[in-house]
Amino acid sequence: MEKENRAIPHFEVSKKLRFCGYKSIPVSNRPINRFTLADFSVYSNRNMAEIEKNSVGLVKTETIQVVDEKSPLELECGRVLYPIDVAYETYGRLNKSGDNAVLICHALSGNAHVAGRNSPEDKKNGWWDMMVGPGKGIDTNKYFVICSNFLGGCSGTTGPSSINPATGKPYGLDFPIITIADMIRVQKLLLDKLGIKKLLSVIGGSIGGMQVIQWAIEYPDFVSSAIPIATTTHLSAQSMAFDTVGRNAILADPNFLGGQYTDKKGPDRGLSIARMIGHITYLSEQSMREKFGRKLQNADNYSYEFNPEFAVETYLDYQGQSFVERFDANSYLYITKAGDYFDLQKDYGSLTNAFAHTKARFLVVSFASDWLFTPEQSKSVVNALVANSKNTSYCNIASPSGHDSFLLELDSDILSSLISGFLEATHQPGIRQENELDALSRKHLNSHYERARRTRLDYELIESLIVPNSSVLDIGCGDGELLAKLTADKNIKGEGIELEQNLVLACVNRGLPIIQHDVEKGLENYADKSRDYVILSQTVQTVKNPETVFKELLRVGKKVIVSFPNFAHWQCRIQLALLGQAPMTKELPFAWYNSPNIHFFSLSDFERFAGKVGAKIEKRIPLGKTRFSPVQLMPNLFAEQAIYVTSKDF
């Protein structure tokens, strides 16, 4: 009754027990034979309950021919291919307006079976069942979800194991070389057959993410939104090196037989080694250290032989062997080669050119511990989109699990909430004034969220300074409250930059374009004077290098609005002078040891600073207890905070 159709290694059982809430057995690498039958029964029953909860239930993998002899598909390599069959599954219902279709693109070893079960006897759910289903991140009560096995695969769609009509035998290496672009063109033909006129979203991770990007570029009018996860615009030399070693392991296997190994013993050892190599790249060093360390699998001492004895060895052996049982070696060659050929900069001259004509909203997601497709590679996508002024959100999820984080249950909460909020905002456009986070999302908002709300009471005045229909970039935008108000009241085109992951999640759930970014690293992809206003509200005192940051803001914005607490307010002076302690006031609610503030300055200090960085002060609003009554007398002493409107002094 276990979730996966196999004996569960002890290192997986312990982790799944923790996920299911079973706490009487310590989370450790204890061998499975130390569990009692009752222990395992509790685990199984609870795990089955989790599987059945919000499941799409039984689904059938369908197959349809999308290309025939009369209209063969011309591939990027110059060859033509026919016939082409596609295996696919669908979940949910297409609504009357046909605007709720979501396409999921799978990764290297995936297939069309993304959720549910194919038969009552199945003990294994679809590969992304945690994300797809009623009430889940991709909610099948709201969306019509499609997933197909891509061209070149080995799970029902035409690939090298399919029959070549010219010979009556499997293609083998006679199958033409394919690309990511070829894959998505076949997917488009499938959607045409299904009567899909437009996609609400395309979603995928890893190689699936490459397909998502290709979709948005190649079919800009067909795709409303795109969610590329843990992906890249081109493989690095290191990533291609791993692919090369894997392919060489297959090609060097004596049972490969030039790719014509059907009905004989195939290149099992080569494919197994290729999978082991690939799987290492899917995990982070931290996750491998925590899961395996240097633990021995079934002994307390070394055996002094070459049989597998470390836990990590037996794990990789299992991964290799299970992969051989479900995957085709030739497909592995073709799919990894397609990934190697994916290079948008080569195809379009630059990434900026590649994304120039896209029309989709983008949510780009990376994982901090992913060293296969690094966060920097995702940021290159974000930078190109920003350079084109596209509607873009980005979050780098703090997960320790590496590249495979998007497939793991224990790392799914934030990703699920991001996808759910982004899809909802795409399907039902409009910025949400109230932060409509679900309970799962709210639990991730820590005390910094509440602090941000307490310290940002200057929003009303800032809003009064903004001209309607302006473009606004809010630096350190928190949960997006100000941008949401400005959008509703002033019809602005708003964007946010925020470093805190949980606040990024809050902005996505509001429907705001938000990029997780450290402003101290610059805004090089934002063109000069490209925004009417740049706002830095209650943030300048927290940045390490305000001079560099402020110069960047003056470059990007025609006007820069900055607000900050006045550290020279009389209450601060009294506490410091008479009590001899770091001041705490309504505007400065932090103790010295947990304060985000690292610079302590007055209104006079800021005005001298503005002159130094070449900023012209257009308006000064010193604020006291009454927000809308500026302090007239000795503002450097009596103002609790201040708002300045500045611009570049040419």
Are the C-beta atoms of residues 170 and 260 closer than 8 Å to each other? yes
* 553 vs 486: CA distance, rounded Å: 19
What DSSP element (H or E) covers 216? helix 207-218
* 177 vs 443: CA distance, rounded Å: 48
| Closest to 110 measured CA to CA, from 161, 141, 153, 173 | 153
* 571 vs 637: CA distance, rounded Å: 9
Q: Which residue do the tokens 């009487």 mark?
A: 24
If one counts every other C-beta atom within 10 angstroms of the C-beta of residue 460, the result is 11
What angle, rounded to 10 degrees, do the helices at 180-194 and 329-341 form? 100
* 260 vs 169: CA distance, rounded Å: 9
* 44 vs 31: CA distance, rounded Å: 17
- Which residues on adjacent β-strands are paired with residue 393? 363
Residue positions annotated with a catalytic role: 206, 370, 403
Q: Which residue do the tokens 């085109």 mark?
A: 493
What angle, rounded to 10 degrees, do the helices at 207-218 and 180-194 form? 70
What DSSP element (H or E) covers 377? helix 375-387
Q: In terms of DSSP H, where are the helices of 444-566?
A: 447-455, 459-465, 481-490, 501-510, 546-556
| Closest to 416 measured CA to CA, from 435, 401, 438 | 438
In the structure encoding, which two tokens stand for residue 132, read together? 């797809």
**Cα–Cα distances in angstroms (integers) from residue 66 to residues 23, 72, 168, 225, 261, in the given order:** 51, 10, 20, 25, 28
In this structure, the chain runs to a length of 650
